[in-house]
Structure 1
Amino acid sequence: MPRRKKYPWEKLSDEQLLKRRLSSLRVGIEGTWLEDCLNTLYEELEEKGIRLRPHAWISSEWFSPGNVPGIAIPFYLVHPRLMKLEKKMMLDVEGGTWSECMAILRHEAGHAIQHGYQLQRRRRWQKLFGPSSRRYPRYYKPNPASRQYVQHLRLWYAQSHPDEDFAETFAVWLRPRSNWRTRYAGWPALKKLEYVDELMEEIAGKRLVSTTRERVDPLHELSQTLGEHYQKKQAFYAFTPPKTYDRDLMKLFSADPRHRRGQPASSFIRRHRAHIRQLVARWTGENQLTLDAVLDDMIFRCRELDLRAVGSDRRLVADFTVLLTAKTMHALFGPSRRKWIAL
């Protein structure tokens, strides 16, 4: 890979960098690890006999615009300095590893192929996945036990919309050595995978219906500052945690005056929060920023209740992780909310 290009903003402080406009970053895919990821995607498509090579560009987020057979990639993945800022602001870097980036690219390639060949117009596509014209929900409540859908990206994303169902199914089908026939044997979702297999064989080598090379919201046209971008992004994931866990916290930690000299439960949570947050995010698929809001509230409640952490840290970490997981699953699948995250 060519030597990484140097940028004038690399050594700026976070505060200074957040004042820069997205358009001023002037970053691109060429010469970065993303170029290798895209080349790998193209090789996988070629191996399957698919003619389309989705064009890609840098924008603010991951997405594939309607009727455009291309993929927008978020700016922060281009450079380690931007990934570091993303990690600080969002506690996670979506697509920041090779495997995760490839998983998302395969998903987005599914959208691009749908757009390029207008697959949603086919009756069987509509019968299996549903109408593409269905409005995207503001929230969705997935069923983790459902076998009607494949499982690829987090939060059982295939269940959010027919287009996402197809993109997820395509991604599973495309991934090398996925053994999807064995993995999904006996699942109703297998019919969708078999249809994708038949459909891709049918369109192999055929001309695209939509050949536009349009780039929607390219980075050089985005005038908002990084600070404004992250303020909006953080607001999307933020929510007010319900005050429903005082009883659980009092079972886990001690309010007994005999333990008043013990370690404050609030300090215990702060000390282990990063490890616990990452574990729960991995198990539940919830965004780390959202989990952090819950942890902040739990720390506040522990302080208000003057709770103490009594016993071994190992046991308390395990018990607290279970508690946070249970509360997260209730928030995800209970009567509250499940945000739709556009990809």
Structure 2
Amino acid sequence: MPHRFPWARWSDQRLMLLKLRDLGLRIDGTWVGSCVDELYAELDARDIRLKPHVWVSDEWFSPGGVSGFAVPFYLLHPRLMRLEKSQLIEVEGGSHHECMKIMRHECGHAIQHGYQLHRRREWQRLFGKSSVKYPEAYRPNPASKKYVQHLRRWYAQSHPDEDFAETFAVWLKPRSDWKRRYAGWPALQKLEYVDRLMAEIAGTVPKARNREVVDPLRSIKTTLFEHYTYRRAVYSVEYPPHYDEDLLRLFSSDPRHRHKPTAAGFLRTHRADIRRIVSRWTGEYQFSLDQVLTDMIGRARELKLRVVGPERQLLTDFMVLLTARTMSFLVGQGRRDWIAV
């Protein structure tokens, strides 16, 4: 497959000028296609008749009322996955484990749409009304036990539909042991309801099967350059720019330490590890964290800060500080844009 497409050997600069519709990608024969087959097998094991149709678009999404979902184009070729990583630092859904997690979530939307589950009173009592407008931003409570924890950034808290999709995904995963994992959580009531609901619809034909394909890749005239310009803007955040107090608590501006390693150099050296670990702790995207680190490194350089004390402890303290600031931002302010999943 990697040699089927002329653009697979192009430079990033040339590739970015290509329109998404001209990539010519298909799911068949790719590792993503194998993930779809695995998803279908999981549904068969539960005797769920609806098998979501899957198509290629510019991102993950399941349109309202449609019993299927889209997968992002970049997953279908290693050259595009490398481009995605170079532009956004990480590849969402880029491993088998992560791809299956997202597919189970999107499958939850498709099942909801196909069987019109959101019209049931018990569904509305537990999850809320599907008709509630999606917010431009949401403020999660990381400590809440009313919701399952599946995708990053406590996504179940963003909307009733996402709450159901996340709960369904946890329920569907083989050997997830959700009864033990969520014992004592209010979220367990939702999982038990999904368990009963899926047993009820097992073997039945969907009420509203809609195989519409929305925004297929072949119809998208946007270039890769335009696509990533937009995506970087979406992933951008607006943290307060005043980091001096935090930096001065960890590093020294005392001229006596001018021969010590610079704080800017120290942060650059450990940048990738800081990004990765804090992203795992907070659920924030590495691209967003990298912007904050860029600002902090620049400010540390301007303040001529130096590293004083054990570097391992200093690294831990810095990651804890960045985690605290990130969580405060997510809970207190929300993002400036909504990222649909």
1:151 aligned to which of 137, 149, 152 = 149
> Could you tell me which amino acid in structure 1 is paired with residue 112 of structure 2?
Q
8 A Cα contact 2:237 2:335, kept in partner: no
User: How many residues matched?
Assistant: 341
Deviation larger for 320-329 or 273-282 = 320-329
Deviation at 1:323, TM superposition (A): 1.5
Deviation at 1:241, TM superposition (A): 2.6
Show the counterpart of 1:275.
273
| Local SS of the residue matching 1:31 | coil
2:181 aligned to which of 183, 198, 202 = 183
Show the counterpart of 1:342.
340
CA distance, structure 2, for counterparts of residue 154 and residue 336 of structure 1: 14
1:32 aligned to which of 7, 30, 33 = 30
Show the counterpart of 2:126.
128
Deviation at 1:301, TM superposition (A): 1.1
Deviation larger for 146-155 or 256-265 = 256-265
1:201 lines up with 2:191 in the alignment: no
8 A Cα contact 1:241 1:293, kept in partner: no
Deviation at 1:4, TM superposition (A): 5.2
| Local SS of the residue matching 1:73 | strand
Unpaired runs of 5+ residues, structure 1, are none
Per-residue CA deviation, residues 80-110 of structure 1 (Å, 9 max, x unaligned), is 1100000010111000011100000000000
Show the counterpart of 2:104.
106
CA distance, structure 1, for counterparts of residue 101 and residue 238 of structure 2: 31
> Could you tell me which amino acid in structure 1 is paired with residue 326 of structure 2?
T
Deviation at 1:244, TM superposition (A): 3.5
CA distance, structure 1, for counterparts of residue 309 and residue 18 of structure 2: 48
Give TM-score, length-normalised by structure 1. 0.96
CA distance, structure 2, for counterparts of residue 200 and residue 20 of structure 1: 44
Per-residue CA deviation, residues 175-214 of structure 1 (Å, 9 max, x unaligned), is 0011111111121111111111111111112121222221
8 A Cα contact 1:150 1:169, kept in partner: yes
8 A Cα contact 2:139 2:334, kept in partner: no
8 A Cα contact 2:2 2:8, kept in partner: no
- What pairs up with 1:315-334 in 2 under 5 angstroms? 315-334=313-332
| Local SS of the residue matching 1:68 | coil
Per-residue CA deviation, residues 61-87 of structure 1 (Å, 9 max, x unaligned), is 000011111110000000111000000
1:295 lines up with 2:286 in the alignment: no
| Local SS of the residue matching 1:200 | helix
- What pairs up with 1:249-288 in 2 under 5 angstroms? 249-288=247-286
8 A Cα contact 2:52 2:107, kept in partner: yes
Show the counterpart of 2:74.
76
CA distance, structure 1, for counterparts of residue 323 and residue 199 of structure 2: 42
CA distance, structure 2, for counterparts of residue 4 and residue 287 of structure 1: 28
Show the counterpart of 1:49.
47
1:213 lines up with 2:222 in the alignment: no
Show the counterpart of 2:139.
141
Deviation at 1:337, TM superposition (A): 4.3
Show the counterpart of 2:83.
85
CA distance, structure 2, for counterparts of residue 29 and residue 311 of structure 1: 53
| Local SS of the residue matching 1:308 | coil
CA distance, structure 2, for counterparts of residue 136 and residue 335 of structure 1: 17
Percent identity (aligned): 60
CA distance, structure 1, for counterparts of residue 3 and residue 193 of structure 2: 44
Show the counterpart of 2:5.
7
Per-residue CA deviation, residues 124-154 of structure 1 (Å, 9 max, x unaligned), is 1111100000000111111111111111111
Per-residue CA deviation, residues 283-334 of structure 1 (Å, 9 max, x unaligned), is 1000111101110110121112111122333222212111111111111112
8 A Cα contact 2:150 2:169, kept in partner: yes
8 A Cα contact 2:138 2:334, kept in partner: no
| Local SS of the residue matching 1:57 | strand
CA distance, structure 1, for counterparts of residue 242 and residue 249 of structure 2: 13
- Structure 1 residues 330, 70: closer, same or farther in 2, change over 3 A? same
8 A Cα contact 1:86 1:92, kept in partner: yes
1:245 aligned to which of 222, 243, 246 = 243
CA distance, structure 1, for counterparts of residue 136 and residue 108 of structure 2: 22
8 A Cα contact 2:62 2:106, kept in partner: yes
| Local SS of the residue matching 1:10 | helix
CA distance, structure 1, for counterparts of residue 62 and residue 261 of structure 2: 50
8 A Cα contact 1:52 1:113, kept in partner: yes
Deviation at 1:52, TM superposition (A): 0.7
8 A Cα contact 2:239 2:329, kept in partner: no
Deviation at 1:271, TM superposition (A): 1.5
